[in-house]
Amino acid sequence: MPKRRQATSITATALALALLPLAPGAAGEADLTLRDSAPQGFHIGSSVAGGGHLDAEDHPDPFTHDKAYTALLGQEFDSLTPENRMKWSELRPSEDTYDFSLADRIVEFAARKDQEVRGHALLWHQQNPDWLEEGDYSEQELRQILHEHVTTVVGRYKGRIHQWDVGNELIDDDSRLRTEENIWLRELGPEVISDVFRWAHAADPEAELFLNDYSIEDVNDKSDAYLDLVRELLADGVPVHGLSVQAHLTPAAGYPESMEENLDRFGDLGLRTALSEVDVRVETSGEGDGGTEEQLSEQADFYARALQACLNADSCTSFTVWGYTDRYSWIPSTFPGKGAGAIMDDDLKPKPAYGALRETLRSSG
Ligand code: XIL
């Protein structure tokens, strides 16, 4: 359903309001959560922390152990994406087995909280199990393994996963298909992309099937390459329904000014779009440095502008943050010298970016 739209730019008042400190306990609209502030038909999401980089850190699984963390996930968001729990490395301990335990918990929680789920991810060059990457399989066997995985995983969550990131990061920084790094493209050829979309569609005809990548916020060579890929897939009748832009942003790289125009050109092809992994990392001096006031205000501005671009684009119906809290963020361990990229701090307290998102949602609703 298309969302209602009114505002086309962030007003000065909205930003000023956003930067005011929150007044906890004060009655009225200041108490609204993000999900309650969103216009009808628009989803505001978060990834669900667990696995991946957190395995190397010193705390138990956030989603199943950190009650305050999980409570806010339910209150603030109406869409969830498992950060790692639906990746091959997590679901497939061996060729013959599946472990759905933690993925199931997320999907069940989402149903209780009336949230949508974005499934992530089916065809990727990272976080694949060693038995797969290092196994000695024939082309036919690999095809069979992939077909069985997609059919089993998408089929298991039929009707409960709204959108799937089917192809993840299929194109590299030189705007070419990852025909070496990605085991599936390398061993089975680029035609496998169409197959996987078709298999996923057969397993759940209602699920919206996406391509997802980073550095495609702007109109640029890489997003041009996606435009070509999407056109080809559509011309072949492949059930591709959406393009999601990760949006791992940083002021150091500048704001991607042509985001709305870019989303629109995919919308014009009939695709749905989404911002799927938004965060805004800043330079920090190490653990415990939550960023200066100036950094956090610039960060709030980036978050609000990205959200506004999505709200403005008719095709863009969800905005998902990649970790709503700095407590569990993947940024410090992935980008040395960077951190504090989330909308809540280590103590789960809202940062200026939280208020900026809420005001942007409210002023467009
Ligand atoms: C990241 C997770 O956040 C980490 O926990 C993990 O160690 C590595 O992957 N693009 C994607 C996501 O599509 O799956 C990645 O998530 C971040 C970049």
Which residues make beta-bridge pairs with 212? 168, 244
**Choosing from 76, 83, 169, 359, which is the catalytic residue?**
169
Q: How far is the CA of 339 from the centre of ligand 1 (A)?
A: 15
Q: Whose CA is nearest to atom 13 of ligand 1?
A: 168
Residue 223 belongs to a domain: yes
Selected residue with higher pLDDT from 141 and 365: 141
Cβ neighbours around 151 below 10 Å, total? 15
Question: For ligand 1, which residues put their CB under 6 angstroms from it?
Answer: 52-53, 83-84, 168, 246, 277, 330
The residue whose CB lies within 8 Å of the most ligand 1 atoms, and thus the one to mutate among 168, 277, 281, is 277
Domain of residue 66, CATH code:
3.20.20.80
Residue 155 belongs to a domain: yes
Residue 76 belongs to a domain: yes
Tell me which residue range forms the domain holding 203: 12-364
Q: Coil, helix or strand for 303? A: helix
Amino acid identity of residue 156, one-letter, is R
Residue 5 belongs to a domain: no
What is the rounded CA–CA span in Å between residue 77 and residue 47? Answer: 10
Structure tokens at 68: 């305050």
Residue 287: what pLDDT?
A: 84
Residue 3 belongs to a domain: no
> Of ligand 1's atoms, which has the minimum distance to the CA of residue 333?
7
If one counts the domains in the chain, the total is 1
Q: What is the mean pLDDT of the chain?
A: 94
User: Can you tell me the mean pLDDT for 84-111?
Assistant: 98
Residue 122 belongs to a domain: yes
For residue 86, pLDDT beyond 60 = yes
Q: How far is the CA of 365 from the centre of ligand 1 (A)?
A: 31
Residue 2 belongs to a domain: no
Structure tokens at 297: 């205000």
Residue 306: what pLDDT?
A: 99
pTM: 0.93
Residue 358 belongs to a domain: yes
